[in-house]
Amino acid sequence: MKNWLFFAVFVTIMIASAVFFLSFYSYRLFEWPARGHCSIQLTRADLDHSLELGTKFLINHQKTDGHFTYEYDWVNEVYTQLDSPVRQAGAMWGLALIYQDQPSLEIQTAVEKAMGFFNRHSKITTDGRRYVIYPGNTFGRTGTVALCTLAYIEYLRVPSSNINVERRQRYHQHLGEYLKFLINAQTREGLWHRYYDADGLPFGASSPHYDGESLLALVKAAKYMGYQELQPVIVKAADVGYNHNIQEALRVDPDSRITKGYYQWSSMAFFELATAGWVGMEKYGDYVIRLADWMIDTHKTLWRRRNTAYAYEGIIHAYQLSVLGGHDQYIKKFACVIDTGLMKLTSWQVGSPKANWFIRRHPTQNPYAIGGIQNHAFESLLRIDVTQHQMHAVILARRYVYN
């Protein structure tokens, strides 16, 4: 009897695996996207609809005090007890990016509610540095401050008659205070301490994620918000981060987890540097393209079983740099990988017309499910950060690839 049960389970797993493979890859069995051989499947309309669904998901999961429900099992209709301050701030940044892409009063209200939440849980040092102590935590993570900073930058980049002068000035003040904290949180080498205590004192070794997030925040502040005096700090941090989190990490492990953690953040930061018009920034554009090659050929993002929307936040920037530089071989390669990857990930969105068989087996009109992105083809957990990263990738794809 046990042997029969084992055999039945084994056969079920094999059939499910075959269905998984065929549902995502059958239309490309005779193509090679990583070599630039593919037929483009996604359309701008597909991405527009995906963004609309994902935006509703994020807004529906915002609580009255401004933060978000972190993770929801949409099949069993239960919330998990997990949470993450950094990913909460990332959801706010994601909404700010959506607001910048398509301003509306609904999205603006959601962004300002999230900003209010983090403002209420922020502290100010005697020398004017702003940092976040998330409820229930006795210390903070530098990535939380970096993502709050990014949210303020993206929000303030949108000219809006709905923000009065006093409120806009207050947001600019908060931005400056967050930036002051990030600059003070750097290590002697130019990376970033991972943590800070309840008094705002930074400590701990650097983190590739927080190094990249903090670098991106400083670059965007200098490029879009007038903080030009940060250029020397930015260039030093970019070079130290590239050496530490990419070159040294890959010498130890060609498929380094450190480089993976730094990947999309550094790619976005290097893209901004390469297109800033500052003197001597050309090398950063080369870095973005080489990193995209690494993500595709070594890390093999197309064959990963978990959600890899983060990869496309970097690869799409590499695509755009290839277009600007006239690199035809990279244009074709990156376009194919972007289309193949986003096609797969779009099929993991609840409510999508392109949803996979697992999602279609559980039809729902639940507003807390619709628009959410699964982290795996057959797992029903919906996390705010997974959806946020994928919606950012969709925005970038619409802006640069499917425009």
pLDDT (tens digit, 9 = 90+) per residue, 224-250?
Answer: 999 999 999 999 999 999 999 999 999
Q: What is the pLDDT of residue 19?
A: 52
Q: Domain of 403?
A: 29-60+300-403
pLDDT of residue 16: 54
Q: Residue 331 has what pLDDT?
A: 97
**Helix count and strand count (H, E) for the chain:** 15, 8
Is residue 387 a part of any domain in this protein?
yes
CA–CA distance, 48 with 63 (Å, rounded to integer): 25
Question: What torsion, rounded to 10 degrees, do the Cα atoms 151, 166, 109, 139 define?
Answer: 40
The string of DSSP codes covering 23-70 is: HHHGGGTT-BGGGTB------HHHHHHHHHHHHHHHHHTB-TTS-B--
Of 11 and 277, the one with more pLDDT: 277
355-398 pLDDT, tens digit each: 999 999 999 999 999 999 999 999 999 999 999 999 999 999 99
pLDDT digits (tens, 9 = 90+) for 134-162: 999 999 999 999 999 999 999 999 987 67
pLDDT tier, 14 (very low <50, low <70, confident <90, very high otherwise): low
Percent of the chain with pLDDT over 70: 92
The predicted pLDDT at position 40 comes to 86
pLDDT at 27 over 50: no
Model pLDDT for residues 114-140, shown as the tens digit of each residue: 999 999 999 999 999 999 999 999 999
| Mean pLDDT across 189-200 | 98
User: What is the pLDDT at residue 228?
Assistant: 97
The answer to whether residue 176 sits within a structural domain is: no
Establish if 66 belongs to a structural domain: no
Average pLDDT, the chain: 93
Tally of CA atoms within 13 A in the half-sphere of 9 that contains its CB: 6
**What's the pLDDT score for residue 28?**
47
Residue 23 pLDDT greater than 60, yes or no: no
Burial 55-70 (b: 16+ CB within 10 A, else e): bbbbbbbbeeebbbbb
Please indicate, yes or no, if residue 86 is contained in any of the structural domains: no
Residue 349: which region, alpha, beta or left (left: phi > 0; alpha: psi -120 to 50)?
beta
Report the domain count for the chain: 1
- Compute the distance between CA of residue 147 and CA of residue 91 in angstroms, rounded to an integer: 9
Chain segment 300-326, per-residue pLDDT in tens: 999 999 999 999 999 999 999 999 999
**Spatial separation of the C-alpha atoms in residues 244 and 208, rounded to whole Å:** 9
The pTM score is 0.92
The model's pLDDT over 50-107, given as tens digits with 9 standing for 90+, comes to: 999 999 999 999 999 999 999 999 999 999 999 999 999 999 999 999 999 999 999 9
The verdict on residue 360 lying in a domain is: yes
pLDDT for the residue 32: 80
Q: Does residue 278 fall inside a structural domain?
A: no
pLDDT of 255 > 70? The answer is yes
The model's pLDDT over 321-352, given as tens digits with 9 standing for 90+, comes to: 999 999 999 999 999 999 999 999 999 999 99
pLDDT value at residue 34: 77
Residue 164: predicted pLDDT: 86
* Model pLDDT, residue 215: 98
Which pLDDT score, from 0 to 100, does residue 33 have? 85
Q: Is 361 inside any structural domain?
A: yes
The predicted structure's pLDDT at residue 13: 55
Judged against a pLDDT cut of 70, whether residue 15 lies above it is answered with no
Q: Are the C-beta atoms of 374 and 350 separated by less than 8 Å?
A: yes
The pLDDT assigned to 29 comes to 42
The structure tokens listed for 237 are: 């941090």
Residue 226 lies in a domain: no
Q: Is the pLDDT of residue 286 over 80?
A: yes
